[in-house]
Structure 1
Amino acid sequence: MNAGATPVVDENALCRFVADEANLLDERRFDEWLDLFADDGRYWVPLLGRMQADPHSHNSLAYEDKLLLRLRIERLKDPRAHSQHPPSHCQHVLQAARVERFDSDAGTATLRTPFLYIESRGEQQLMLAGSYRHTLVRTADGLRIRQKRVDLLGAERALPAVQLFI
């Protein structure tokens, strides 16, 4: 955390926000999860993990704005979605989030959170590991996600289809 920076909110509230966000996914409360994103929010899974500086200079596993996220959520909720028979479930196991940066002028905070992600569907189970980088912004409606970056360990290898949100 930058010395002398005025926090967006206290550090505990920021870390709790990240944990609550993962919990919404684990409980399949996708609409509430989407509401956590700012209007200009992005969900980004770089193909090159931490080495990828931006989503435009190289392909990504996912780079989605709120509209694309909404379309994915509607697909997941559609009773005719073949990929959800049986439905997928997930569990996010988070280490403690660490605030890396506050920008009081922009009203943003960036947190890094190492994680394990387990997705289960029928008898199949997938486990991924990596770290999140949440860029949170204070809005009139409270904290919102400007960007959720998911840096997977070994993201450049062939991965099975992930049905939910890492």
Structure 2
Amino acid sequence: MNTVAAPQTFDETSLRGFVAQEAALLDERRFDEWLDLFADDGRYWVPLLGRMQQDPHSHNSLAYEDKLLLQLRIERLKDPRAHSQHPPSHCQHVLQAATIERIDVDAGTAMLRTPFLYLEARGEQQLMLAGSYQHMLVRTANGLRIRQKRVDLLGAERALPAVQLFI
């Protein structure tokens, strides 16, 4: 007899905890573990127009990177010859509670929105950015993974200084 497993439901506490853990990995400079949270088809997107931008292809973006490009950025950050990391950059994410916007149990996906403050320090310089994250999470055999992390910055269209780490 062939049986089909019932779709698994999403635990809202686990979804919110996933987003908090993702930010903690960045704050701790555990970039390889952070990258492992992305699905194979995962994307990291920072729209130039913030929430007004509907997709990454109709307008320029501050960043639109697949897993390979994220891996290259991580390798650059870890390279002892990377001038931009002397002294090394450190960051702190301050998150509000994530709001669950949508859950599709049949597709195994969940969408969360999380307002944030991002602080990045390097030497005596400090940068603060604000905005909201939109995480599209997908259930995989290895647990939850990020299909897309969208970073909608407040005032993204203004001239911004170089951000060394991941917002």
Q: Scaled by the length of structure 2, what TM-score is found? A: 0.95
Tell me the secondary structure at the aligned position of residue 74 of structure 1.
Answer: helix
List per-residue Cα deviations over 1:8-53 (Å, max 9, x = no partner).
4210000000000000000000000000000000000000000000
> Does the 8 Å CA contact 2:10/2:105 hold for their aligned counterparts?
no
Match of 1:3 in 2: none
Match of 2:40 in 1: 39
> Does the 8 Å CA contact 1:8/1:138 hold for their aligned counterparts?
no
**Cα distance in 2, alignment partners of residues 7 and 76 from structure 1:** 38
Unmatched runs of 5 consecutive residues or more in structure 1: 1-5
Unmatched runs of 5 consecutive residues or more in structure 2: 1-6
Q: Note the aligned Cα RMSD (angstroms).
A: 0.9
Report matched runs for 1:143-154 at 5 Å. 143-154=144-155
Tell me the secondary structure at the aligned position of residue 39 of structure 2.
Answer: strand
Match of 1:130 in 2: 131
- 1:30/1:53 CA distance change after superposition, 3 Å: same
Larger mean CA deviation between 100-109 and 41-50 belongs to 100-109
Report matched runs for 1:38-117 at 5 Å. 38-117=39-118
Runs of 4+ in structure 1 displaced over 3 angstroms?
none
List per-residue Cα deviations over 1:80-126 (Å, max 9, x = no partner).
00000000000000000010000112100000000000000000000
Amino acid at match of 1:12: T
**Number of aligned pairs?**
161
Give % identity.
86
Match of 1:120 in 2: 121
> Does the 8 Å CA contact 2:43/2:147 hold for their aligned counterparts?
yes
Amino acid at match of 2:140: T
User: Which of 1 and 2 has greater Rg?
Assistant: 2
